[in-house]
Amino acid sequence: MSDQELKEPNQFSRREFITGVGGMGIGAIFAGSLARMLLLPDDVLAIPASSGYLLVDTKKCAGCTSCMLACSMTHHGQSNLSLSRIQVTQDPFGKFPDDIGIAQCRQCPYPSCVEACPTGAMHADEKTGVRTVDVSKCIGCERCVNACPFTPGRALWNFEEKHAQKCDLCLNTPHWNHEGGPEGVRACESVCPMHAISFTTQIPVQSDEGYNVDLRTGTPWTQIKFDGAVGATGVAGSGLKK
């Protein structure tokens, strides 16, 4: 389901507002005291902003899927790519940088998943604003799953436990005795060997560019010839010159 399909002619759709198509920066709008209550274009009250957001650098990602294994293990006690709330998709034959996509929940300022939920199971955590699921209220309708405007959807159906779920920034990790959430430590971020996942308390700009960031600048990354640096064949010490 694309944003374009939902757009009303000559109107500023809610979904467009949410996803920031066209570079609209909802972060700028939400920053500061306006964040608590805001009347959106179709008369729906905004809910409290999340107090944290995952950022990723897809150019830095090595595709090891450790983030997915850690997410599912800490939340469900099993390493299961299908139950991970962060998804890394890749094409082994693809061309860098389009060979990898990282799909992390954006903790949308205006969350379609929350709005779609008929029971309040999908909600914003009262203390942190993190969008998460109260599984005791989930009736399995999957409206939240279908409402997420992104591909792949960030709200997912837990086919084993029979409820919806999504990234809670590790607020509730029954299998990892560690403080999570915006003020704690996130499993995916902790295990990423390339440091390709980061965290911010500032609302990112609501576009891909807001969530897919450069975590390489300021590191020797370029010097070690990744991402655009010129390859250096036969460099000193390579030991490969015959």
Subset of residues 57 to 86 that bind other proteins, contact rule: CB under 8 A: 59-66, 69-70, 72-74, 76-83
CB-CB neighbours of 106 under 10 Å: 26
Residue 4 found at the interface with other proteins (CB under 8 A): no
Which x/- pattern over 141-180 shows residues binding other proteins (rule: CB under 8 A)?
----------xxx--xx-xx-x------------xxxx--
Residue 51 found at the interface with other proteins (CB under 8 A): no
Residue 39 found at the interface with other proteins (CB under 8 A): no
CA distance 74 to 72: 6
Residue 238 found at the interface with other proteins (CB under 8 A): yes
What are residue 37's phi and psi, to 5 degrees?
Answer: -140, 120
Residue 23 found at the interface with other proteins (CB under 8 A): no
Residue 224 found at the interface with other proteins (CB under 8 A): yes
The nearer residue to other proteins, 66 or 107, going by C-beta atoms, is 66
CB-CB neighbours of 188 under 10 Å: 27
Binding to other proteins in span 192-211, by CB under 8 A: 193-195
How far is C-alpha 207 from the chain's CA centre?
Answer: 12
195: which 2 tokens? 């440091």
Binding to other proteins in span 114-143, by CB under 8 A: none
137: which 2 tokens? 């209220």
Query: Closest separation between CB of residue 11 and other proteins, Å?
Result: 27
34: which 2 tokens? 């306006």
Residue 92 found at the interface with other proteins (CB under 8 A): yes
Q: Encode burial over 54-73: b for 16+ CB neighbours within 10 A, e otherwise.
A: bbbbbbbbebebbbbbbbbb
